[in-house]
Amino acid sequence: MDDAIRAFMTFLAVERQASPETIRNYHSDLRQLTAFLTQAQPTPQTQRSLPISDITTESLRAYLHWLDRKGEKASSLARKLACLRSFYRFHVREGTVAKNPAADIRSPKLPKNLPRVLTKDDANGLMEFPEGDTALPLRDRAILETLYSTGARVSEAVGLNLGDLNQSDGLVHLRGKGRKERIVPIGDVALQAIQTYRASLKQATADNRPATPLFLNHRGGRLTARSVARLVSRHSSRLAGGAISPHALRHSYATHLLDEGADLRSIQEMLGHASLSTTQKYTHLATDQLLAVYDRAHPRAKAGKTPPNRKDRPAR
């Protein structure tokens, strides 16, 4: 199994050019499967190295059932199953195994929850929450402004280098999923926040070469996605609706663009979605918000709702 995993990781990195995050997640999933099966089938052979050909559909079902009992989310189960399918497709092509034992396992049904979207007032307020004129609060504000201004995924934002900014044209170069790249607009307010942050850095960390990470941690290294998630959660916890994830800023970016008249194709390109159907969920968000406003504001939105001051009007 160890050799099979190494071969698959090499395939993902070299041929598929998968992102480091995908490679890390898939490697973790396969290690977790190996550990589960080794404990579930403790034989001298499995303790040494579990043969990939010995893993059956029933073995994989038992693994997924174990994860489900542990309370694993449906989205995580779906990702792990996708990993297993890809892993075995590769080894079927390589001739390591004769068939794909994950092919006949049905994917878990995912809930169709609409993502949380900030109001425009909340989004504007969040940008102002980092306070202070030292490097860390200025960095936090620059990150928040960049996420909301560009709709970047958190992994794309932390992957930004100085050379990815085209300040004169107001553009930024993002590297997305599957090594796909795109150029999107970035607003003047976000650019100004970035400039202020970079100007605040001490000379020792103010490296201005194009390959230098744009956002730095307190040690001068590249900021991680997990650190950005923590800082977004910390600052957004002051909002009335509670803390949000960085992805909520991406959802808010798309929904607010749609509210202001941007067309779906343009939003699709800026978000880096491969399919327009992925972008279309924002039409549901915008429609739901519109209906909510209508229901609250219109005097005859719902049956039995009495128009304001109707009782005080004189009869005619």
Catalytic residues, by residue number, are 153, 177, 247, 250, 273, 282
CA-wise closest residue to 156 among 146, 166, 170, 141: 146
For the four alpha carbons of 250, 255, 260 and 264, in that order, the dihedral sign comes to positive
CA-wise closest residue to 282 among 303, 304, 253, 310: 253
B/e letters for 261-295, b = 16+ CB within 10 Å, e = fewer, are eeebeebbebbbbeeeeebebbeebbeeeeeeeee
Q: Which residues contact 83 (CB under 8 A, 6 or more apart)?
A: 25, 26, 29, 30
Q: How many residues does the chain have?
A: 316
